[in-house]
């Protein structure tokens, strides 16, 4: 009886999880509608709302952990009450969504605090925090919704908020263009998600997770594969995966905190969440899983290669994100053996990548917003806190032993190799090679930014950022060091997620884990050594060198991804649009305008006969009478 009362009390406490979305939405509304009156305190409201949301998230997750059935579904209201289509708005808090709300509000909250200092002198700071709160609210709805329709509403909300944030400095042509590019490319992926939702309703009669996953076995093999591929298309758009990866590096035109929020804790992880949440569908189709894994492997290689040739510090980190999300896709594409591992890497990546982006913003803050690493150098002595926190994030990213990335990335590589056969060796080999390339481009970034001779422009005086910026960086640095160990050994994430994904199958290791670790560590060491040979031992030029190899040229041009999109999609689309405009102007409008001119001219000429003279009317009547008589005679004698 006591246990029943405690369970009811716990579930009653979780009936207010809608507050997680309502608080940032209300804060965003106040910030965006209050006008300049809120300039003095708007940033404090923005940060306070996310802090409150994080505190509630911790409370809800702790409460959830005390339940035997770690899943609480909350029905709010009837969203689409149509005969034959009943969609209820509701929320679902389970181990998977619990992980995400902690990441979104925790890391997102630190980025909000950082933004107080970073945006201190921006006239639009209040508007910035309003967009930030709106973004967080949309992301929380995405991961908390209990149906694909609720997920889609949050999905589109994230797309809108990201557009507003990337184009925050909309007077800059590059920012406006990057925002439009992100918005359009995401729409391509969103079409796949939307069609998948239509197909789910047509096949199963519902879009609620409970109904879809409970009846997933009723899906035919071809339908399950089609759903898997359509969902993957949506995931590729939101997470910047091949072939829809081109928008993500260009999103760097927004303020640096936006880059940290989009590329670490929220938007780019949405695709991974979608595939992980749809695990019961992917478990029905090995072909669908294989395509996800292949997309992840291809994307991680594209990101690594492009990152090796960039000189913009934020773009190096952006391509790193493309690559690391590729690792997550590779993991969840391995099915039950990789779902939890992919989420583990998502969490560790959230800490060290957010820290790296905030560190890059700190460097820019001290270098008059310069982003070209060729104009950095010798910053380690002048920005000691930034250097220390950035170094820990760097080591975690390359998988330095016993830091966060070491635990998650090695497990992905092990899971890939354990697939066995050509599939295992190809996927695992790509992941190992990616680890070496990651070590190369990140070591290159460290050497060009913090070491070597100073290459600053005149008038630049590097200095450390204020405490409101460095404090979140320090917290994220601790996460970069300890998160992996804690999530594997102290609070096992795999066990926490077992109610969602089921137990992870026992693997017949192709190679012993210690051997995999030794191979990966050796490859990483080779990458570091190569960066030292090509960058550390040489004087870095202040301008991009010419006469480089075709591979470097291709990497600088993003492996011609933009050129392909422009040649195959953009220019033909422009030509088609111009042709349709011509047809519309000269054909449709021409015909309509011609008929109008004919009627107008005819009526004008006819109107001239109405001159008010009796003799003219008599002549008209006589002429008409003659014509009538002539017609009658023709009929009679014709």
Q: What is the per-residue pLDDT for 2?
A: 45
Percent of the chain exceeding pLDDT 90 equals 62
Say if residues 106 and 53 touch (Cβ distance below 8 Å). Answer: no
Average pLDDT of the chain, as a whole number: 90
The pTM for the full model equals 0.90
CA–CA dist 504, 498 (Å, integer): 8
Average pLDDT score over residue span 364-384: 91
What digits encode the pLDDT tens for the residues 567-600?
Answer: 887 788 788 888 888 888 888 888 888 888 888 8
pLDDT band per the 50, 70, 90 thresholds, residue 320: very high
Residue 597 CB-half CA count within 13 A: 6
CA–CA dist 107, 547 (Å, integer): 42
Is residue 177 pLDDT above 60, yes or no? yes
Q: Respond yes or no on whether the N-terminal peptide bond of residue 335 is cis (omega within 30° of 0).
A: no
74/617: higher pLDDT: 74
Q: What is the per-residue pLDDT for 221?
A: 79
What digits encode the pLDDT tens for the residues 37-65?
Answer: 888 899 999 999 999 999 999 999 999 99
The region, left, alpha or beta by phi > 0 then psi within -120 to 50, assigned to residue 492 is: beta
Closest by CA to 353, choosing from 303, 414, 425, 281, is 303
- Give me the sign of the Cα torsion angle 131, 133, 136, 138: negative
φ/ψ (deg, to 5) at 344: -60, -45
Alpha-carbon distances, residue 578 vs 479, 574, 591 (angstroms): 53, 6, 19
DSSP 333: T
Q: What is the per-residue pLDDT for 580?
A: 86
Q: What is the per-residue pLDDT for 306?
A: 93
CA–CA dist 583, 241 (Å, integer): 37
Say if residues 386 and 464 touch (Cβ distance below 8 Å). Answer: yes
Is residue 412 pLDDT above 60, yes or no? yes
Closest by CA to 430, choosing from 294, 316, 561, is 294
Closest by CA to 180, choosing from 101, 251, 268, 281, is 251
Percent of the chain exceeding pLDDT 70 equals 97
96/85: higher pLDDT: 96
Is residue 6 pLDDT above 80, yes or no? no
Q: What is the per-residue pLDDT for 63?
A: 92
> Where are the alpha helices (H) located in 66-172, listed in sequence order?
95-118, 125-144, 148-166
CA–CA dist 634, 638 (Å, integer): 5
What digits encode the pLDDT tens for the residues 341-372?
Answer: 999 999 999 999 999 999 999 999 999 989 99
Q: Which two tokens stand for residue 172?
A: 């800059």
Q: What is the per-residue pLDDT for 552?
A: 85
CA–CA dist 90, 88 (Å, integer): 6
pLDDT band per the 50, 70, 90 thresholds, residue 617: confident
Is residue 275 pLDDT above 60, yes or no? yes
DSSP 571: H
Say if residues 48 and 121 touch (Cβ distance below 8 Å). Answer: no
Burial category of 424 from C-beta neighbours within 10 Å (exposed 0-12, middle 13-18, buried 19 and up): middle
Angle at the Cα of 271 from the Cα atoms of 270 and 273, rounded to 5 degrees: 65
Say if residues 393 and 480 touch (Cβ distance below 8 Å). Answer: yes
């Amino acid at each position: 009886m006591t246990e029943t009362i405690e369970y009811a009390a716990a579930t009653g406490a979780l009936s207010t999880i809608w507050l997680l979305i309502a608080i940032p939405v209300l804060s965003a509304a106040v910030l965006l509608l209050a006008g300049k009156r809120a300039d003095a305190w708007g940033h404090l409201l923005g940060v306070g709302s996310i802090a409150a949301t994080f505190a509630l998230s911790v409370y809800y997750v702790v409460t959830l952990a005390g339940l035997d059935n770690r899943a609480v579904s909350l029905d709010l209201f009837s969203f689409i009450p149509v005969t034959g289509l009943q969609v209820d708005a509701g929320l679902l808090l389970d181990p998977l969504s619990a992980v995400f709300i902690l990441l979104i509000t925790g890391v997102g909250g630190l980025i909000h605090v950082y933004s107080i200092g970073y945006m201190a002198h921006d006239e639009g700071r209040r508007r910035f925090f309003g967009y930030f709160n709106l973004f967080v609210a949309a992301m929380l709805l995405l991961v908390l919704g209990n149906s694909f329709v609720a997920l889609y509403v949050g999905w589109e909300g994230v797309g809108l908020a990201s557009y507003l944030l990337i184009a925050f400095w909309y007077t800059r042509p590059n920012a406006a263009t990057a925002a439009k590019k992100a918005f359009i490319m995401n729409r391509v992926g969103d079409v796949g998600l939307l069609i998948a939702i239509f197909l789910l309703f047509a096949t199963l009669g519902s879009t609620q997770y409970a109904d879809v996953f409970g009846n997933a076995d009723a899906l035919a093999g071809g339908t399950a594969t089609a759903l898997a591929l359509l969902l993957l298309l949506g995931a590729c758009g939101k997470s910047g995966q091949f072939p829809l990866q081109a928008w993500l590096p260009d999103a760097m035109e927004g303020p640096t905190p936006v880059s940290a929020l989009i590329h670490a804790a929220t938007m780019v992880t949405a695709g991974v969440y979608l595939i992980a949440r749809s695990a019961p569908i992917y478990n029905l189709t090995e072909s669908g899983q294989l395509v996800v894994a292949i997309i992840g492997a291809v994307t991680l290689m594209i990101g690594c290669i492009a990152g090796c040739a960039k000189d913009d510090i934020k773009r190096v980190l952006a391509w790193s994100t493309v690559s690391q999300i590729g690792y997550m896709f590779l993991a969840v594409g391995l099915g039950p053996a990789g779902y939890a591992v992919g989420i583990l890497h998502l969490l560790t990546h959230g800490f060290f990548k957010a820290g790296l982006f905030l560190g890059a913003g700190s460097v820019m803050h001290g270098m008059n917003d310069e982003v070209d690493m060729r104009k950095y150098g010798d910053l380690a002595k002048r920005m000691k806190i930034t250097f220390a926190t950035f170094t820990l994030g760097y080591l975690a990213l390359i998988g330095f032993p016993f830091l966060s990335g070491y635990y998650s990335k090695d497990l992905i590589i092990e899971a890939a190799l354990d697939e066995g056969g050509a599939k295992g060796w190809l996927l695992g080999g790509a992941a190992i090679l990616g680890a070496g390339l990651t070590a190369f481009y990140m070591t290159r970034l460290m050497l060009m930014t913090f070491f070597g001779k100073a290459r600053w422009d005149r008038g630049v005086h590097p200095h450390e950022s204020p405490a409101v910026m460095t404090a979140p960086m320090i917290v994220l640095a601790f996460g970069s060091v300890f998160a992996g160990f804690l999530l594997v050994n102290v609070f096992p994430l795999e066990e926490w997620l077992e109610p969602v994904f089921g137990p992870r199958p026992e693997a017949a290791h192709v190679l012993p884990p210690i051997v995999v670790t030794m191979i990966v560590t050796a490859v990483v060491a080779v990458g570091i050594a190569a960066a030292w040979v090509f960058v550390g031992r040489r004087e870095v030029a202040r301008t991009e060198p010419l006469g480089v190899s075709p591979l470097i040229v291709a990497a600088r041009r993003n492996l011609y991804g933009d050129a392909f999109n422009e040649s195959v999609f953009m220019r033909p689309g422009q030509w088609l649009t111009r042709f349709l405009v011509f047809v519309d102007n000269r054909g449709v409008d021409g015909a309509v305008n011609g008929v109008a001119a004919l009627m107008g001219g005819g009526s004008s000429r006819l109107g001239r006969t109405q001159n008010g003279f009796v003799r003219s009317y008599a002549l008209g009547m006589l002429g008409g009478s003659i014509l009538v008589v002539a017609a009658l005679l023709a009929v009679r004698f014709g």
